[in-house]
Amino acid sequence: MILILFIRIIFCYKPIINYMTAIKTCIIGLGYRGRRLLNLLSSIDDFDVVSVSDPCIDEDIKMNYPSFSDGKEDYRNMILQYSPDLVIIASPWEYHVEQAMFAVLNGCHVALEIKGGLYADEYLPLLALADKKKRNIYPLENTVFMREHMSMYNLINSGLLGDIVAVKGGYRHDIRKLLINEKGEIGENSGARAAWRSKFYLKENGDIYPTHGLAPICLFSGIGRTDKITELVSFASAAHGITAYMSHCGGNTNPTISMGDVIVTQMLTEKGTLVTLTHDTTLPRPRSLDIEVQGSKGIWRGEFRKIYIENISPYENWEEDGKYIDDFEHEFWKKWGEDALRIDEHHKGMDYIMLKALSQDMKGLEKYPVDLYDLALWTSVTPLSKLSIMEKRVINLNPPASFEI
């Protein structure tokens, strides 16, 4: 039995950083997400990026930032030399805990680019160390900060949807071009943009990226705060998408792919909320978070931006949700939304809002809405879903998977 249970001792420690002072920041990992974060940080006055580390750093970055690229361990020299306030970790998932532990041991706060958390209880040592050293760990799950999601937190808390009965979400994004190179080759030596990630598709079968869809719906439904997951079951489809794409590109037509094209996980909470989560990344489709929230008084379909509220909406007819999103706009978006949409067009402002919330939390001016306890809960779906698929059974969680506040 896998046990995923932690005690949320303190939500967040407040470091003493003058609100007028830029946060001295180092970045580990300069792949796709690391570079995007670096570019965005340069547009936010709250941060001062003093150095970066990655075994492979492009010359244009080396010209602008002191760089540490002498192997996978050189980030340690960067941290020791610069003593940053904040270390942002955007390296491959399997390095997150080790790198974060070193940063915390040396007095740094840490921001973890999603997702890490590959194995059961992986975050336990980091949780204990961060608590001991009174350092903050910030999950950089940007879907938490989408404008419509933050408005929906407020709308749900107002009671307009009633009691939350069912929620769903997912990571539905065709990433085959990231996993497979132009010759139709897959693997860590293929040179594909996310070659490091392909090993999970070759060797594992489960939801390896639950956080994008699960993070916002946990906050919608109170999971991890006022409710707990008690049961989980996952199913995997056949695997055809990767082999079809490799064949189309002229590559090997008979690779061994372990991961099903579509992984569906269902969870039940202590209060009876049904959670449905989908991992769908190797078939042709537009990207989607597949968010839906069903309450006793109404329903919101985030993907289609539709809402229906009993006795308010026209009977059995959907409404556009724009008026509700505006009326329940979150304070973060009221303050920073204009700059967010201007500077962060790629992710419709949510990365900018996320980083502003982080900086304001470090300066004691706002509260970052999630922490490492949340991230540990979200990522626990990965080992549990793999176990459920492998053993073809429902996983009963006793005690339930959650964090006590």
Q: For 135-174, what is each residue's pLDDT tens digit?
A: 999 999 999 999 999 999 999 999 999 999 999 999 999 9
Does the pLDDT of residue 404 top 60, yes or no?
no
Q: For 31-73, what is each residue's pLDDT tens digit?
A: 999 999 999 999 999 999 999 999 999 999 999 999 999 999 9
- Do 138 and 358 touch, CB atoms closer than 8 A? yes
Burial of 121 (0-12, 13-18, 19+ CB in 10 A): middle
- Pick from 49, 59, 42: which is nearest to 27 by CA? 49
* Strand ranges inside 190-338, DSSP E: 229-236, 262-269, 274-280, 292-295, 298-301, 306-309, 319-320
Which residues fall within 8 angstroms of residue 345, CB to CB, at 6 or more apart?
none
Between the CA of residue 97 and those of 94, 115, 117, 149, 370, what are the distances in Å? Answer: 7, 11, 8, 28, 18
Q: Which long-range contacts (CB under 8 A, 24 or more apart) does 222-226 make?
A: 222/164, 222/271, 223/269, 223/273, 223/275, 223/377, 223/402, 224/373, 224/374, 224/377, 224/402, 224/403, 225/403, 225/405, 226/271
pLDDT band per the 50, 70, 90 thresholds, residue 2: very low
Average pLDDT, integer, range 77-94: 97
pLDDT band per the 50, 70, 90 thresholds, residue 12: very low
152 φ/ψ angles, rounded to the nearest 5 degrees:
-65, -35
pLDDT band per the 50, 70, 90 thresholds, residue 253: confident
Q: Which pLDDT belongs to residue 400?
A: 67
Q: Which CATH number fits domain 144-342+369-404: 3.60.20.10, 3.30.559.10, 3.30.360.10, 3.40.605.10?
A: 3.30.360.10
Give dist(CA 141, CA 213) in Å, integer: 10
Q: Which CATH number fits domain 5-141: 3.40.50.2300, 3.90.1150.10, 3.40.50.150, 3.40.50.720?
A: 3.40.50.720
Does the pLDDT of residue 263 top 60, yes or no?
yes
Give dist(CA 340, CA 190) in Å, integer: 36
Q: Which two tokens stand for residue 93?
A: 């998932």
Q: What is the mean pLDDT of the chain?
A: 93
Would you list the domain boundaries of the chain?
A: 5-141, 144-342+369-404
13 φ/ψ angles, rounded to the nearest 5 degrees:
-85, 140
Q: Which pLDDT belongs to residue 10?
A: 42
pLDDT band per the 50, 70, 90 thresholds, residue 252: confident
Q: Which pLDDT belongs to residue 284?
A: 98
Q: Which helix (H) or strand (E) holds 87?
A: strand 86-89
Query: How many of the other CB atoms lie within 10 Å of CB of 103?
Result: 27
Between 2-6, 67-71, 250-254, 275-279, the lowest mean confidence (pLDDT) is in: 2-6
Amino acid of residue 209: Y
Average pLDDT, integer, range 193-199: 92
Does the pLDDT of residue 14 top 70, yes or no?
no
Amino acid of residue 206: G
The pTM (predicted TM-score) of the whole model is 0.93
Q: For 214-237, what is each residue's pLDDT tens digit?
A: 999 999 999 999 999 999 999 999
What is the Cα gyration radius of the chain?
A: 21
Q: For 342-400, what is each residue's pLDDT tens digit?
A: 999 989 999 999 999 999 999 999 999 999 999 999 999 999 999 999 999 999 997 76
DSSP state for residue 288 in the 8-state scheme:
B
pLDDT band per the 50, 70, 90 thresholds, residue 292: very high
Give dist(CA 129, CA 115) in Å, integer: 19
| DSSP codes of every residue in 122-187 | TTHHHHHHHHHHT--EEEE-GGGG-HHHHHHHHHHHTTTT-SEEEEEEEEE---HHHHB-TTS-BS
Q: Which pLDDT belongs to residue 16?
A: 53
